[in-house]
């Protein structure tokens, strides 16, 4: 009898310890979930799990503090970037007025034309920096409205004022395609993708199509500008990365990528025949 009682006691003790262990593990899981929801109530129990509980709590607090510090530093950098862009805007505008006066007085001076071109380029850079700071500072700035892809494309082409000699072929299917997003920011993204093609010296044709399936609606922009070097394929969407033959600032495609992602989409690029094709996919579900 004593032996049976001893076996039963061991069984009950094992059951009690296992149940207690499972309860404490569940409490640790609840602690992590509560902290994820910004409930930082300090654990009060003292047992074998208390050391682990305390370590989890302290580690989580350190992660939260590091994240807050990183966020504040990023916000300061964005403010500095915006402030710099605003500060250089005023003297650039003044310089442009002065250059126009010089052009009237010295119409045949080539140096003035060079100065004007570079000043306009600098003015464009300040505009781009302002747009980047707006994108970085406002995570939820994008409007959610029904946007027609053909209207976005027409707006982009009108803004670019494509020079003669470049044939732009637009498929009629764009008129029937609608997505949810911010019209003007999407125009900005398409403008920058088109600029990438238009800035290629050998490009004289751009073909624009659209495709829709249950998952996403896409717009493809294909050029015959010679394609993208294999080693540059993964770099072209990085900010300030420029290929050796580029005349831009290395910002346009990076900005386009950011805008598209903020509108529930993605950009993929590949080489085809004698050029490159950029496919921008906008997902139908969030």
* 173 lies in the same domain as 75: no
- Would you state the pLDDT for residue 284? 85
Place of tokens 């069984």: 11
* 100 lies in the same domain as 179: no
Give the other-Cβ count within 10 Å of 82's Cβ. 17
Helix (H, G, I), strand (E, B) or coil at 169: strand
Asked whether residue 41 carries a pLDDT value surpassing 70, the answer given is no
CATH number for 234: 3.30.565.10
d(CA 211, CA 216): 8
Asked whether residue 78 carries a pLDDT value surpassing 70, the answer given is no
Query: pLDDT for 134-166, tens place per residue?
Result: 777 665 567 889 999 999 999 998 888 777 788
Asked whether residue 53 carries a pLDDT value surpassing 80, the answer given is no
Residue ranges of alpha helices (H) inside the chain are 2-36, 50-105, 110-137, 149-160, 183-198, 252-262
Q: How confident is the model at residue 126 (pLDDT cuts 50, 70, 90)?
A: confident
- Would you state the pLDDT for residue 149? 93
* 77 lies in the same domain as 177: no
Select from 110, 137, 164 the last residue of a domain.
137
- For the beta sheet containing 216-223, the strands, ordered from the edge strand earlier in sequence to the opposite edge, are 167-170, 205-212, 216-223, 275-283, 265-272
Question: DSSP characters for 235-282?
Answer: TTTSTT---TT--S-S-HHHHHHHHHHHTTEEEEEEEETTEEEEEEEE
- Would you state the pLDDT for residue 140? 58
Q: Is residue 52 part of a domain?
A: no
Query: pLDDT for 228-268, tens place per residue?
Result: 888 778 788 887 777 666 666 778 888 899 899 989 999 99
* 127 lies in the same domain as 164: no
Residue scoring higher pLDDT (46 or 205): 205
Q: What is the DSSP letter of 46?
A: -
Query: pLDDT for 264-284, tens place per residue?
Result: 999 999 988 888 899 999 998
* 93 lies in the same domain as 202: no
* 228 lies in the same domain as 276: yes
Give the containing element (helix H, strand E) for 218.
Answer: strand 216-223
Asked whether residue 15 carries a pLDDT value surpassing 90, the answer given is no
Q: Is residue 202 part of a domain?
A: yes
Residue among 167, 173, 174, 180 at smallest CA distance from 153: 174
Select from 109, 137, 165 the last residue of a domain.
137
* 265 lies in the same domain as 154: yes
Q: Which two tokens stand for residue 213?
A: 């399936």
- Would you state the pLDDT for residue 207? 92
Residue scoring higher pLDDT (232 or 79): 232
Q: How confident is the model at residue 209 (pLDDT cuts 50, 70, 90)?
A: very high
d(CA 190, CA 176): 18
Q: Is residue 220 part of a domain?
A: yes
Query: pLDDT for 25-35, tens place per residue?
Result: 777 777 777 76
Phi, psi angles (nearest 5°) of residue 153: -65, -45
Domain encompassing residue 205: 145-283
């Amino acid at each position: 009898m004593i032996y049976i009682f001893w076996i039963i006691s061991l069984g009950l003790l094992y059951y009690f310890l296992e149940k207690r262990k499972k309860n404490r593990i569940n409490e640790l899981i609840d602690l992590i979930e509560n902290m994820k929801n910004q409930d930082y109530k300090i654990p009060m129990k003292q047992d074998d799990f208390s050391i682990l509980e305390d370590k989890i709590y302290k580690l989580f607090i350190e992660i939260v503090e590091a994240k807050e510090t990183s966020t504040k530093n990023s916000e300061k950098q964005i403010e500095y970037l915006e402030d710099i862009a605003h500060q250089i805007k005023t003297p650039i505008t003044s310089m442009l007025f002065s250059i126009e006066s010089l052009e009237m007085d010295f119409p045949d001076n080539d140096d003035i034309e060079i100065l004007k071109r570079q000043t306009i380029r600098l003015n464009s850079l300040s505009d781009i920096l302002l747009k980047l700071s707006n994108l970085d500072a406002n995570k939820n700035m994008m409007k959610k409205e029904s946007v027609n892809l053909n209207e976005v494309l027409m707006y982009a082409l009108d803004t670019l004022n494509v020079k003669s000699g470049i044939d732009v072929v637009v498929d009629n299917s764009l008129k029937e395609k609608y997505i949810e997003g911010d019209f003007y920011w999407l125009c900005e993204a398409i403008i920058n993708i088109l600029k990438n093609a238009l800035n290629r010296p050998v490009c004289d044709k751009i073909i624009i199509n659209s495709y829709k399936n249950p998952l996403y609606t896409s717009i493809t922009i294909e050029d015959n500008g010679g394609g993208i070097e294999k080693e540059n394929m993964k770099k072209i969407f990085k900010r300030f990365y420029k290929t050796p033959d580029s005349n831009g600032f290395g910002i346009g495609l990076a900005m386009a990528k950011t805008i598209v992602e903020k509108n529930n989409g993605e950009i993929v690029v590949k080489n085809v025949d004698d050029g490159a094709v950029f496919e921008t996919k906008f997902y139908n579900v969030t």
